[in-house]
Amino acid sequence: MTTTDIGGGSREIAIVGGGLGGLTLARVLAVHGIAATVYDQEPGPGARSQGGMLDIHEESGQRALRAAGLLDEFHRIVLPGGDATIVRDRNGTVLHADGGGNGRPEVDRGQLRTLLLDSLPAGSVRWGAKAQAVQARPDGRHEVVFADGSSAVADLVVGADGAWSRVRPLLSAATPGYLGVTFVEIDLLDADARHPAAADVVGAGSLFALGDGRGLLAHRETDGSLHVYAALPVPEGWAAGVDFTDRTAVRDAVLAHFTGWSDRLRALVVEADGPLVPRPLYGLPAGHRWPRVPGVTLLGDAAHLMSPFAGEGANNAMFDGAELGAALAAHRGDVEAALGGYEAAMFPRSAEAAAGSAEGMAMCLAPDAPAGLVAMFSQAA
């Protein structure tokens, strides 16, 4: 593990989790000349596809990238026109359409993660390091114990390990609860050539097709594919009752939730390429917080997992990382002052984002949807 001088001597920082939040923290620390080691459970940087597009908000994600010194590089990977939005009802009727330009450019999550990874000093990330537990030691430091039997001792442990954080139990007894909605992820590859009608329904950026308390949310990806989330109001165990290895059975199970919807919208499910993947949505209670525990904190989903309906989770994870990095740089001789200041600002900020995300989900899945979303867009215009 690399060491640095955050506490007036040689101190070690362990960031558990190399998602967007943990990597932003590592990068901002590096910008300030502070070393840290990121531990991630994945075997390597390309071990799994990183999923869909993210809109990066001016007030959070973009501020974090500025603090990381990566804003220009970020603008180079933005999908031109990807921030356009279309809202349709269950009949496929367009109720709102705009060309974007709202200060929230869309970027491929995998490319953004690569940008952060490539910006770190060599050897900053230890792959294949699945944290199982974190234990307090008598000397006040903490030991991160990994699944392969190895361990790392650190003066500061940051839990950036997402929804099912192994660091969080040191601080809080909270666990994520099911939000009542399961997404099924679907891809339509090479859409303009292979799925022209579906590509036309989605447009250049994002589609929200909503009604009956459910929805088809889709966006265009940088590789020309369409990424679709079928949002289903189903019980927590629904996915376990569907054979996801049988594509026809899954498609039929998803389509059963869109009976009576326009065939142009149902085509986003019918024409699925590759596997369909269930993603039950979980959240921590809005306003989740904990008393200060020396030498440990959380960021991103580990601290404030929320529904994705307001597009806040990744933006907030990155902003947390940037703010924590800046606080540690500003309080080099006093880690507890840095953590206290970071948490004091992060708790209300994430509570507000979580409340907004819950409202966004309720609005999108309301019985009269998409009325609320259309009204929101017309007020913003």
Ligand X SMILES: Cc1cc2nc3c(=O)[nH]c(=O)nc-3n(C[C@H](O)[C@H](O)[C@H](O)COP(=O)(O)OP(=O)(O)OC[C@H]3O[C@@H](n4cnc5c(N)ncnc54)[C@H](O)[C@@H]3O)c2cc1C
**What residue ranges bind ligand X (CB under 6 A)?**
16-22, 39-42, 54, 129-131, 160-162, 166, 183, 229, 279, 300-301, 308, 311-315, 317
Q: Which two tokens stand for residue 223?
A: 């590789």
Contact by Cβ (8 Å): 32, 8: no
Bond before 370 cis per omega within 30 degrees: yes
Smallest gap from Cβ 196 to ligand X, in A, equals: 25
Measured from the CB atom, is 191 or 231 closer to ligand X?
231
> CA–CA distance from 71 to each of 35, 78, 108, 191, 299 (Å)?
22, 11, 15, 30, 21
Smallest gap from Cβ 260 to ligand X, in A, equals: 25
Find tokens 């997404």 and name the residue: 183
Helix, strand, coil percent values for the chain (each to nearest 5): 35, 25, 40
Measured from the CB atom, is 19 or 211 closer to ligand X?
19
Q: What Rg, from alpha-carbon coordinates, does the chain have?
A: 21
Q: Is 55 annotated as a binding residue?
A: yes
Smallest gap from Cβ 318 to ligand X, in A, equals: 8
Smallest gap from Cβ 281 to ligand X, in A, equals: 6
Smallest gap from Cβ 340 to ligand X, in A, equals: 21
Q: Is 155 annotated as a binding residue?
A: no
Gap between the Cα atoms of 36 and 31, Å rounded: 11
Smallest gap from Cβ 167 to ligand X, in A, equals: 8
Concatenated DSSP letters for 166-206?
Answer: SSGGGT-----EEEEEEEEEEEE-SHHHH-HHHHHHH-SSE
Measured from the CB atom, is 16 or 209 closer to ligand X?
16
Measured from the CB atom, is 7 or 168 closer to ligand X?
168
Smallest gap from Cβ 146 to ligand X, in A, equals: 8
Measured from the CB atom, is 22 or 105 closer to ligand X?
22
Helices (H) and strands (E) in the chain, counts: 12, 18
Measured from the CB atom, is 176 or 311 closer to ligand X?
311
How many C-beta atoms surround the C-beta of residue 139 within 10 A? 8
Gap between the Cα atoms of 26 and 38, Å rounded: 7
Q: Is 104 annotated as a binding residue?
A: no
The residues near 52 (Cβ < 8 Å, ≥ 6 apart) are 109, 185, 219, 221, 227, 229
Which alpha helices (H) appear in the chain, and where do they start and end?
Answer: 20-31, 61-67, 71-77, 109-118, 191-194, 196-202, 247-255, 263-270, 301-304, 313-330, 335-364, 371-380
Q: Is 236 helix (H, G, I), strand (E, B) or coil?
A: coil
Measured from the CB atom, is 211 or 321 closer to ligand X?
321
Find tokens 């040689």 and name the residue: 10
Smallest gap from Cβ 317 to ligand X, in A, equals: 3
Measured from the CB atom, is 7 or 204 closer to ligand X?
204
Binding site residue list for FAD:
55, 109, 301
Binding site residue list for NADPH:
48
Binding site residue list:
48, 55, 109, 301
